[in-house]
Amino acid sequence: MLYPKSLEKGYKIGVTATSAGFDAEVDFIRLDNAIRHFAALGYPVIETDNVRKNYRGRSSDGRTRAFELHQLWEQSEVRAIFAACGGDYLTEMLSFVDYEVLITTPKWIQGFSDTTGILFTITTNLDIATVYANNFSTFGMENWHKSLMDNVSILEGQDLTQHSFDKFQDGYKERITGLEEFEPEKEVAWKILRPHAAKEVAIKGRALGGCLDVLLNLVGTRFDKTKEFIQKYQSDGILWFLESFDLNSEELTRGLWQLKEAGWLEHAKGFVFGRPAMFCTSTDTNYEETVLSVLGDMNLPIILDADIGHKPPQFTMINGAIAEISCRDQKGSISFERR
């Protein structure tokens, strides 16, 4: 596994719009504030042209998005690249990404949600570790949440242990000023689904995952090197971290079945699911029942409602690294080893 060089003072952060971009004043304010925050830490920010553009959910066409990613990647002074935000159309750029450019000089690339498409592909195709965590716009809040400071520390090379937070924000909040912070309102309560009735569980394996909504689009495409990846690291086993945006119980059932039948879940050591963003059901099936209907017969540890994904704050997850996650008394922690 290739781990890019750590972020160091004086090096730059690149921001590009791999899916949607921004076209509203409130978002520009947020972007500018994020840039100020990083500059104060000693990390100047470079934006690509498409960050402040958006038309029908796209910052630019797929070819342009790939080209602008290449532009940042080839700059030696850029140590980390952030997706500006999520969206729906990142997959359009995958056809134009030059993997020879990426493998020549590995860099940290970070984002979540739709950004899964490029992160998962880089890790499984090129053996380069990537970061599933906050998109750049999140760093525009007035005062950073601890999870954001942890995120930067991990990019700087610190292998700190992340502990579950006390409360989380349950859903999207409208932005008025652009500087809004998280609004933690509900108690964080991790749940051990398997082994049944267990009071404590620990899982260790090579971390791999992201947003299920996007992962399902990759299955069977020419970018799907998942089986080769998990075979290569079968001695470590895979710790799958997964979360969903708007999959309902029926879509989630079919999706997990698809991953299982495609061979993705071979050599799995266990599963950690983040809090689903917009889960619903038309068959009176809750999230637990949905997950168990597909994964229950694998007899592997399963944790639900972890601090991963769309309902912040979220952990900084390193795709490709050895991860150890534990859960007890509805709380949990995770640490990574870069080997």
Do 211 and 133 have their domain in common?
A: no
pLDDT of residue 266: 98
Please check whether residue 79 is in contact with residue 52, taking contact to mean a CB–CB distance below 8 angstroms: no
Based on the domain organization, do 143 and 204 belong to the same domain?
no
Residues 80 and 215 in one domain: no
Do 285 and 171 belong together in one domain?
yes
Q: Which three-class secondary structure state does DSSP give residue 149?
A: helix
Give the CATH number for residue 153. 3.40.50.10740
**Is position 1 within any domain?**
no
Domain co-membership, 65 together with 197: no
Q: Domain ends where: 160, 191, 216?
A: 160
Longest alpha-carbon distance in the chain: 54
Query: pLDDT tens string for the chain (339 positions)?
Result: 999 999 999 999 999 999 999 999 999 999 999 999 999 999 999 999 999 999 999 999 999 999 999 999 999 999 999 999 999 999 999 999 999 999 999 999 999 999 999 999 999 999 999 999 999 999 999 999 999 999 999 999 999 999 999 999 999 999 999 999 999 999 999 999 999 999 999 999 999 999 999 999 999 999 999 999 999 999 999 999 999 999 999 999 999 999 999 999 999 999 999 999 999 999 999 999 999 999 999 999 999 999 999 999 999 999 999 999 999 999 999 999 999
Length of the chain: 339
Residue closest to 274 by CA, chosen among 198, 183, 177, 164: 164
Query: Do residues 295 and 257 make contact, with C-beta atoms less than 8 angstroms apart?
Result: no
Give just the sign of the alpha carbon dihedral 98, 104, 110, 112.
positive
State how many domains the chain has. 2
202 & 315 share domain: yes
DSSP string, 238-267: EEEEEE-SS--HHHHHHHHHHHHHTTTTTT
Q: How far apart are CA 119 and CA 110, in angstroms?
A: 7
Q: 94 to each of 36, 63, 222, 280, 320, how far by Cα in Å?
A: 31, 9, 10, 30, 20
Rounded to whole angstroms, the Cα distance separating 252 from 247 reads 6
Instruction: Please tell me the predicted confidence (pLDDT) of residue 167.
Output: 98
The per-residue pLDDT for 75 is 97
Same domain, 167 and 239: yes
CA gap 40, 33 in Å, rounded: 11
- Determine, yes or no, domain membership for 123: yes
pLDDT of residue 287: 97
Of the three residues 121, 145, 160, the one that is the final residue of a domain is 160
Last residue of a domain, one of 128, 143, 160: 160
Residue 4 domain flag: no
CATH of the domain at 252: 3.50.30.60
Specify the pLDDT at position 161: 98
Q: What is the predicted pLDDT for the residue at 265?
A: 98
Domain hosting 89: range is 12-160
Q: Are residues 330 and 186 in the same domain?
A: yes
Q: In which residue are the tokens 């090129």 written? A: 126
pLDDT for res 251 = 98
pLDDT at 272: 98
**Cα separation of 236 and 232, whole Å?**
9
In a domain, 6, yes or no: no
